[in-house]
Structure 1
């Protein structure tokens, strides 16, 4: 075993999970740990992430000053620094650990830390800038903005909040922009191709979704190879004969809006030169704007509209999706992409500033002030009136965040009129609407101040002599 000369029992903070940690799962989902990636887990503890990543086909190694001190430290494209900064009681050593991890990262450093909202789970006495527990382990809990600022200060580059408490820092700014582009422009996937016919079908699908033909280097290698024996003119003819022009026009409109969203978010997080943009975004700019300058000017105007209360309220009133209340617009995860562009930008800016949580169901966009909450109703699709489990909010004027958990409450908030959170074309919207209409006829919404919580809703069901069987309202026996 390695070092024991610390001011706390750091080795005792290493836990056995039996699978990937939350930050590692986030990085895999975001493509920051791709298949076969070379990964160093710096401060790996008992090596749970290393074993899980190896099982997934990655070339993963772990170093830890206590459990794995003899593993050679060599640079790797991906470096994990998972819940390490929390447990180092010496601020100078903490900073050196972060700097060392950054020096070892060839492409991206993934940093995670426990957050201040976990304070109730940590019992201990004040010690330095944190807490010393009864087991003599140390914990410095970070605010969401504090963690991102700290990482940026040590590394000297802009970082991105992937989710609350998980930060990505890229060695190459192009990689950072590519990641941001994937978060905003999610239509870059290609259909699988096995022969010339399916390769042409994949090309047609891409043209209809993107609104423009792709360059050869945008295609998957297998698709490009399957089309390689055809002359460019023949490929263009096949595409022209097969595309649905209405879909192409709709794709062009969608790509134009997505490009503006990306450029606006990029300014919010620091905009670079045209050549730093991902290739696909460069080609979108050339296809749908007269110049990069014009695209940026339009994106800047869109970003400025976030400050205009009247404009935001007007966009919420005009939105084809979401439930509008006197204070906010509530939109289901499946319908967020169908909000007006300025509201999508509103939500994206909040997610870049503070990280969008992994588990969420409904986004709440306030029109009094600028704040976004992500609400988790895990049983939204199966429970006719789903209960709120967690709420995570970021205030865009102060960048302060707050987190609330309702799992242990005996009178949790719940939802009504579920269809209003969705687009009318959603497959489940009609079923939810029928339930709402039946509940209105049964007089269940006569006392709106009572029905927002479990106990109030149960009392109204009893008053009206009704019960729920799935998404059907039935009479109870007298």
Structure 2
């Protein structure tokens, strides 16, 4: 069929959504699209994203060759070309569409396309470089790396992966580097006030921006970085004296921990930029340069520290040793499992290693656990949607990345009658995780009753329910109670 002509009905590929599309949601979540920026949807289909973002107060317009052909193509800060490339069967026209969208872009272009994560069906009709669907539409399924290469070569850019099949393309190099950096920044919170001294209380309102800045950057600002610096300098002469008042009311160790964590974040970022081969001091945002100066003295020293960690990953046994020594996560003979919320608590070596996957595929939506394979270059992202509520949640899906071949594979467990289930949930998270104590108490009960003794038999739902039935217990609200064992996987 590849040599035959087929009348493709592209407009039938448009989807009537009930919510904002995933690529536009990501632009909103990452503050790429804000209320101060204009938005244009190139190939908007039924116009759902335009309508919904307009209702939210955004300056949104769109165009579609079939549904809105009379709308004007106008330049905008943020342009979205969402799942358009994969429905254009003509390769020349496909490249033209991408180029036109880029020409309209003033700040960031959001590009998305269908990504192949499993083998294509043998029953589909091949046509050009894609297939014809049952709706007589065309679909080109890209490999993740293939899509990036296509965007980069067509536009002469360096597209940034945000999620599977979704890329951001930045006009400004500093904005791109800032976006890349914040993806590796740890979540931090401002230390709470422990001793509310009179002087601190008198000046708390003008000290708060300084506290917020230090929480975000892990250092004191330089002149020009703080909006209320003039007021602060009038009262305290310099930032150091102002921060001394803050230290009198808070725990200095907590501020030191923030600074240390931020220095590790920078190491992770610099290591991964070296891996991409385009690291340069002059491409970094000014605030990042100041971070490096504050933590490392100069750029070369910071790069040396980061590179030593990066290059050590190529040595045999380094990842295995880091996994075995990890104080975070659940270790088995073949892997280390870590909840996504605990990723930033890991050794920087493992964060860099995991970054080798996310720099390629972006963020894995809805992932619950990250699985680090000890003896092979592979990482998996596991989806347990009921992790918080179900005492023994079932695995719904997983994304597997082979770090050697960059092959991405998706596994769906949602229809399996006997899916894998989790035990000892507290081992995957840190002690500050919500309900950590509840998880730990349940595990203690189960250990005391011998429920977790036969690991090989309780790894699936059926095996676990059989175990509960044999012990004549149920689990309700994360507590073991007498019963027949048939409610053991629900909260």
- Normalization by structure 1: what TM-score? 0.92
Could you tell me how far 1:241 is from its partner in structure 2?
Answer: 2.3
1:159-178 equivalences under 5 Å are 159-178=159-178
Structure 1 residue 469: Cα displacement: 0.7
1:123–1:133 contact (8 Å) kept in structure 2: no
- DSSP 3-state at the match of 2:41: strand
* Superposed counterparts of 1:38-49, under 5 Å: 38-49=38-49
Give the corresponding residue for 1:129: 129
Q: Distance in 2 between matches of 1:74 and 1:122?
A: 42
Provide the rounded CA distance (Å) in 2 between the counterparts of 1:230 and 1:347: 46
Compared CA separation, residues 119 and 53, structure 1 to 2 (3 A): farther
Contact 1:190 1:202 in 2 (8 A): no
User: Is the 1:210–1:248 contact (alpha carbons within 8 Å) kept by the matching residues of 2?
Assistant: no
Residue 384 of structure 2 is matched in structure 1 by 377
Structure 2 CA distance for aligned equivalents of residues 37 and 205 of structure 1: 25
Are residue 11 (structure 1) and residue 1 (structure 2) matched? no
Q: Which runs of 5+ in 2 are unaligned?
A: 192-201, 486-491
Deviations 1:379-399 (A, max 9, x none): 111100011111112111111
Query: 2:261 maps to which residue?
Result: 254
Q: Secondary structure at the match of 2:234?
A: coil
User: Per the alignment, in what secondary structure is the counterpart of residue 218 of structure 1?
Assistant: coil
Q: Distance in 2 between matches of 1:32 and 1:113?
A: 19
Matched, 1:322 2:319: no
Q: Check conservation: 1:370, 1:396, Cα contact below 8 A.
A: yes
Does 1:77 find its partner at 2:81? no
Deviation, structure 1 residue 367: 1.9
Q: How far did 1:224 drift?
A: 4.6
Question: Which residues of 2 match residues 65-104 of structure 1 at below 5 A?
Answer: 65-104=65-104
CA pair 381-134 structure 1, distance change in 2 beyond 3 A? closer
8 Å Cα contact 1:78/1:109 also seen in 2: yes
The answer to whether the Cα contact below 8 Å between 2:232 and 2:238 also exists between their aligned partners in 1 is no
Question: What residue in structure 2 maps to residue 107 of structure 1?
Answer: 107
Residue range with higher mean Cα deviation, 341-350 or 311-320: 311-320
In structure 2, how many angstroms separate the alpha carbons of the residues matched to 1:84 and 1:205? 41
Query: Which piece of structure 1 moves more, 270-279 or 5-14?
Result: 5-14
Q: 1:241 aligned to 242, 245, 254, which one?
A: 245
Give 1:74 deviation, angstroms: 2.4
**1:71-470 correspondence to structure 2 within 5 Å:** 71-117=71-117, 124-186=124-186, 197-207=204-214, 210-219=217-226, 221=227, 223-224=228-229, 227=231, 230-231=234-235, 233=237, 235-243=239-247, 244-470=251-477
Distance 1:189 1:474 in 2: 38
Mapped to 1, the partners of 2:307 and 2:411 lie a distance apart of 34
**CA separation in 1, counterparts of 2:69 and 2:101?**
15
The total of aligned residue pairs comes to 468
Residue pair 1:309, 1:367 contacting (<8 A) in 2 also: no
In the alignment, which residue of structure 1 is the partner of 2:194? none
- 1:252-306 Cα distance to aligned partner (Å, 9 max, x none): 2112111111111111223332122122211111111131111112111111122
Structure 1 contact 123–134 (Cα < 8 Å) conserved: no
Q: 1: CA distance between counterparts of 2:386 and 2:246?
A: 42
Task: Decide which moves more: 268-277 or 23-32.
Answer: 268-277
For 2:423 and 2:254, how far apart are their aligned partners in 1?
35
The match for 1:31 is 31
The 8 Å contact of residues 187 and 210 in structure 1, kept in 2 or not, is answered as: no
What RMSD, in angstroms, separates the aligned Cα atoms of the two structures? 2.4
SS in 2 for 1:116: coil
Partner SS for 1:380: coil
Give, in whole Å, the separation in 1 of the partners of 2:215 and 2:81.
Answer: 41
Q: Quickly say closer, same or farther: Cα 1:208–1:114, change in 2 above 3 A.
A: closer
Q: Give the corresponding residue for 2:198.
A: none
* Cα contact 2:117–2:408 (8 A) shared by 1: no
TM-score (norm 2): 0.89
Q: Deviation at 1:334?
A: 1.8
User: Is the partner of 2:317 in helix, strand or coil?
Assistant: helix
Shift of residue 122 of structure 1? Answer: 11
Whether the aligned pair in 2 keeps the contact of 1:39 and 1:76 (CA below 8 Å) is yes
- Unaligned residue ranges in structure 1 (runs of 5+): none
* Partners of 2:163 and 2:426 in 1: CA distance: 28
